[in-house]
Structure 1
């Protein structure tokens, strides 16, 4: 479900006709500062089609939140408070041209960084379900990257963006959970601190429901091979026409989503400036 508090309302949402294997999809050229490359994907990756359109009344009704809304079955959309926006603006993160510059702006403004942290805490506390939450990361991505997630842990220091292998639409947390437990790990809030619009792309199915759908498609021996790590590949192969939802996330807007429990990715396609976001983990909802 989608609980939408954005000023744009349903205008922030779009839908497409499904997904394709990445080799059947021409990735957009990324050109930023002195780097130019065409993103490459992992062998098993699937990506969204680009035929975005407005949602119909019936489709919006399918996403409409109800009394069963909680931290793992609902995407929450909204905008951070004006004082917190002003604090981040003063940090000049939107003017940063590199990851190092983003962190430098925090480091050279310790009092402002402390103030932003305090205001963030005050904002997140009422959303936290009286559960613990914690800072996860500052995410920095290049502009015009269709799907931004990539595992960089095995790359050497000083790697170039062209060295990345992008994941495609995926679910998080695959080392610490199973298909049956993916719904037990709460969610994340991601706030756009950059200068450009970014996007959240997601499939509105929890992992256990995906598995139930695959039961109808696969024989017993095939089904036995499905696990939390490879379930996206099986799903997109057998349900290529299941649509992807796209959320337009303008500067200082946020999404809350259980990214362990659904297929998703971020996107900066069409942007010109460095993408910056801040992510906290918890069990957020309202």
Structure 2
């Protein structure tokens, strides 16, 4: 099935050919550690065609902060922050207590990291006086192709959920398009992966409902939308894009079917995640460098 026009990619190095692969479709996750009706990519990948790249890469007229809810931006951390990350040695972190112990031994190093990362996140904000929160600093290892666990209604177990739409703005579909977006920063020297369907939730509902055989899906919650999408479109490609060491992505994760993936990493996946309204295109520091 061919890719549809919707969510676009912007990368600081424009190296899309080296970053992208497409799955041959999706499948139900059968492992006991997954919630029922969870979906992930079929683990068979192909390189995108020139036509695929043209659909995914953001053209000049798309690079606007007003399209933050339909753009994924990938940037490299400034050199001075990379140096602090290497000094802290996030590569060797196994558990949260490791960071706590290091902070107690070298508080000035962590204070420098906190100050620099805070200033950096401020520069990414679309509106400088808007609020943002540091949402999490996950330290994860995962044998599966997706990595997010969560609780779902009516199920007590904290299980993997597969490709999903985040619900930080609420559960209803109407809130997806106006939700904040998310920064996820790779603090280590190994790459990680972002998996996603390149159609925003609002475009699934309002633009492509007939094309995707979802005409009757006009209400419901985010989990129901994801399940219906994959049931009706098992051959739609999942996009896999590599997030290199010390890079971050800015993505509309409340308006996007997605998940992270650790792939073949040897180290724990250590990231810093922030929620707010961030620019998915070149911020001021990138233009200056």
Tell me the TM-score range normalised by the shorter chain.
Answer: 0.7 to 0.9
Q: From the superposition, tell whether residues 107 and 190 of structure 1 become closer, same or farther in structure 2 (CA, over 3 Å).
A: farther
TM-score (norm 1): 0.83
Say yes or no: does 1:65 pair with 2:62.
no
Q: Does 1:43 align with 2:36?
A: yes
Aligned match of 1:279? 273
How big is the shift at 1:184? 1.0
> What TM-score, normalized by structure 2, do the two folds share?
0.82
How many corresponding residue pairs? Answer: 262
Q: Where do 5+ consecutive residues of structure 1 fail to align?
A: 28-38, 155-162
Counterparts of 1:60 and 1:269 in 2: how far apart (Å)?
23
CA distance in 1, matches of 2:105, 2:14: 33
Partner of 1:125: 122
- Residue 49 of structure 2 aligns with which residue? 56
Partner of 2:183, secondary structure, is: strand
Q: Judging changes above 3 Å, is the alpha-carbon distance between structure 1 residues 68 and 214 closer, same or farther for their aligned structure 2 residues?
A: same
SS in 2 for 1:85: helix
How far is 1:211 from its partner?
2.2
Specify the SS of the correspondent of 1:208: helix
List per-residue Cα deviations over 1:220-265 (Å, max 9, x = no partner).
Answer: 4xx3663323110000000111111111112201111010000000
Q: Could you say what the CA RMSD is over the residues aligned between the two structures, in angstroms?
A: 2.4
Which of 2, 9, 15 is equivalent to 1:2? Answer: 9
Deviations along 1:87-144, one digit per CA (max 9) or x if unpaired, are 1111122111223223433454322222112211222223211232221110111054
Give CA-to-partner distance per residue, 1:39-94, whole Å, 9 cap, x none: 62100101111122221111010012132342111000121011001111111221
With over 3 angstroms needed to count, the CA separation of the structure-2 counterparts of 1:282 and 1:218, relative to structure 1, is: closer
Q: After TM superposition, what 4+ stretches of structure 1 lie above 6 angstroms from structure 2?
A: none
Point out where structure 2 has 5 or more consecutive residues left out of the alignment.
1-7, 282-289
Partner residue in 2 for 1:136: 135
